[in-house]
């Protein structure tokens, strides 16, 4: 099964990019010398904050949703995802790929349908919103 970057990889990405940008901006933009520790300390502090926030919201997670009727589940899932702006983009291995058509950097959702459950992989922030919207959709149908 496909997976995306976990917490550590996402943290390192955001930490290193932000730290480097802050060090360069403090050196070139603010005129601070690289021989003093301040640009590195500032870069590390801001990088730590950006790394934690980026890893919390953008790490890849997977969730499993049990269902009893496959057709009903797919209708509800497609309705929920379309309300969020996602459209089916095709297949990747044994997963259905959903993505926002107007926002290419919004992240993809991968849905693998099994016998009595579906596994959804995507960014943690998107999965949280999807979970809330899906629960609202299923309670409104009852």
pLDDT in tens, 12-58: 999 999 999 999 999 888 888 888 899 999 999 999 999 999 999 88
pLDDT of residue 140: 63
pTM of the model: 0.74
Radius of gyration of the chain, Cα coordinates, nearest whole angstrom = 20
Dump pLDDT digits (tens) for 109-132: 899 998 889 999 998 888 888 888
What does the chain come to in residues? 142
Strands 109-113 and 86-92: unpaired
Model confidence pLDDT, tens digit, residues 73-86: 888 888 888 888 88
Give the H or E element holding residue 77: helix 70-83
User: Which among 51-60, 83-92, 98-107, 125-134 has the top mean pLDDT?
Assistant: 51-60
More confident residue, 6 or 23: 23
């Amino acid at each position: 099964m496909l997976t995306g970057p976990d917490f550590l990889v996402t943290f390192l990405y955001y930490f290193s990019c932000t730290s480097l940008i802050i060090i360069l901006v403090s050196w070139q933009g603010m005129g601070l010398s690289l021989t003093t520790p301040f640009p590195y300390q500032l870069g590390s502090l801001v990088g730590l904050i950006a790394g934690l926030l980026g890893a919390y919201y953008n790490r890849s997670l997977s969730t499993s949703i049990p269902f009893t009727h496959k057709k009903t589940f797919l209708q509800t899932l497609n309705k929920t995802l379309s309300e969020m702006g996602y459209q089916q983009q095709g297949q990747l291995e044994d997963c259905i790929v959903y993505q926002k058509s107007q926002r290419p950097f919004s992240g993809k959702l991968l849905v693998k349908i099994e016998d009595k459950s579906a596994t959804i992989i995507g960014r943690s922030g998107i999965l949280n919103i999807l979970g809330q919207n899906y629960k609202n959709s299923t309670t409104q149908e009852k």
